[in-house]
Amino acid sequence: MRNLQFHLRLFRSNTQPRLLLQRSSKWSLNGSSRLCQKAAYASVSTAPTFQSMNGILEPPLLNAIAAMKYVHMTEVQHKVLTDMGDIKSDALVQAKTGTGKTIAFLLPALQNLLTGPKLPHGQVGILIISPTRELAVQIAEECDRLTASLPTHVDCHTAFGGTAKAASLKRFMKGNPAVLVATPGRLLDYLSDPSVRKKFTGIRTVILDEADTMLESGHLVSVRNILKQIPPKSEGWQGLCFSATLPSRVRDVVHHILAPGYKHISTIDENEPPTTANVPQHSIIIPDIKDTFNFIQAFLQTEYEAAPDNFKAIVFSSTANSTRLLHDLFIDIIPGMPVYQMQSRMNQSQRSKATEGFKVTKKGILFASDVVGRGMDFPNVGLVAQIGLPSSGEQYIHRVGRTARAGNSGRATILLTKPESFFLEQNKALPITPHPESAAIDKKAREVAPQISRQLQNVDDAVKGKAYAAWFGFNRPLLFKKDKIALVKEGNAFSEAMGNEVPPAISAKAIGMMGLKGVPGIRIDPTRPQRARNDQSGGRWQR
């Protein structure tokens, strides 16, 4: 370790309770960046310092940390560096989002890379798998800041969807990407090329970040396939797995990344109530789905009037297409209020612009689908609203966790129609109470109805059509399970809420996929679906 070999000439290229719903087998209540670095241990001046790690970390890495103005370690950083024993060993680390995890896994990985044998030019030494593009960007940015002060330049390359694959892959192949931060889908796409796989023959460390989020997003199958494409674990690479929770399916993948005898490090107090337990949580029941948009506008205006000077809210919706609908409908809900959207059908440039805009704004509304992962840092969010059922029970808690961060206060509200209200009945253990302004919001919803009708006329018909089809795709397994006619009747009422005199037609293929063929009230469109203005989806039916 004393003979630190900074001989890499590298080229920079692309830089709680577990809640589930009872209506499905996966839904029931089971009892069981920088802002993060500054917030964690913010009031504990006696926390261990990075400089106390002299002898564990080499001086160049300690100097790099000092250049970032980091003095005290967070708990997870201290435990990883001291409890691993050998800093090159494997570890499973349980830690919450917002505790400084990125630095916790970058330091041992970089030490392993830079103190080992010379990495051949063009080889990937550290592979970091992230569940979302935005989190991948955050990790890469932190890696760039950490390595900027090292005596030798370390290149961090990123690979994720929403960008031009050909250009990104060309930079990757021609560059010298010692560190690769990638999302599962794009990485698996890369690895389908034999020439790309050759760049992983010198891999030193594999890091799986937010493993439980990977599970929620359906990425663990891709992770398993990725592990089949890189050198086997028997070749000795280090494995690090970070996850807030450890569902059984996460443990199944962990055993492919970590060698027997790995260290299990946890900073989670099983007796500590989840941070969301201290967030006031309310519900609003929408009496008729036709009034959905009236209630959303009335609710947001009421919340804004209660805190006009620092109103910053994230409004979650169930699908990408419904997110765009809400954004387009409420773009001018409050004069002068910045309104953003974040959903998977946007390209990476659009998502990055929205991310940065909402991060720095003091006031604003972000309409979002679940691409807003737990690892993304949006400071000073005072309100989280959820429109309709969450994509899973655990996702409800994770969404609420987007507010009241870093010692700030926050509140959360879920808006449900009557058929969706079973969520509250089945999850009585959650501290959700009726919204204190329910009566006033109900009154205001009736008052804003004419305004909503006018605003809906400005929304692209294709956007409405996609939101309508997506409504069925999401709710088909959840509502009116044995009564398809009732489901279609409710979906058509949602179409009416959008101002449609006749429900939009859906492609025959999509109707078949949803099991709604032959159900009265569904209109079949045999032609190719219309594409919305500025849409990124290619005109396919998507959620």
Q: Which two tokens stand for residue 74?
A: 């967070």
Exposed e or buried b per residue across 428-445, where buried means at least 16 C-beta atoms within 10 angstroms of its C-beta: eebebeebebeeebbebb
**C-alpha to C-alpha distance for 57 and 50, rounded to whole angstroms:** 9
pLDDT at 370: 80
pLDDT at 218: 74
Residue written as tokens 């309508």? 468
Dihedral pair phi/psi, residue 18, rounded to 5°? -95, 115
Q: What is the CA radius of gyration of the chain?
A: 24
**Helical (H) or strand (E) element with 206:** strand 205-208
pLDDT at 526: 78
pLDDT at 271: 63
Using DSSP bridges, classify how beta strands 126-129 and 205-208 pair: parallel, antiparallel or unpaired: parallel
Per DSSP, what are the bridge partners of residue 239?
Answer: 206
Question: Mean pLDDT in each 10-residue stretch from start to end of the chain (543 residues)?
Answer: 37 34 37 43 67 94 95 95 93 87 96 92 96 90 95 92 85 94 94 95 95 78 93 96 84 88 88 72 98 98 94 96 98 95 89 91 94 73 96 80 82 98 90 96 98 97 97 93 93 98 94 93 77 46 48
Residue in 283, 386, 280, 397 with CA at minimum distance from that of residue 18: 397
Domains in the chain (CATH in brackets) are 33-266 (3.40.50.300), 275-453 (3.40.50.300), 461-525 (no CATH)
pLDDT at 534: 56
**C-alpha to C-alpha distance for 266 and 263, rounded to whole angstroms:** 10
Residue 88 CA: distances (Å) to CA of 75, 130, 237, 384: 19, 21, 9, 40
**C-alpha to C-alpha distance for 67 and 448, rounded to whole angstroms:** 54
CB atoms within 10 A of CB 409: 11
**Helical (H) or strand (E) element with 305:** helix 292-306
First vs last Cα of the chain: how many Å apart? 51
Q: Which two tokens stand for residue 267?
A: 């900073």
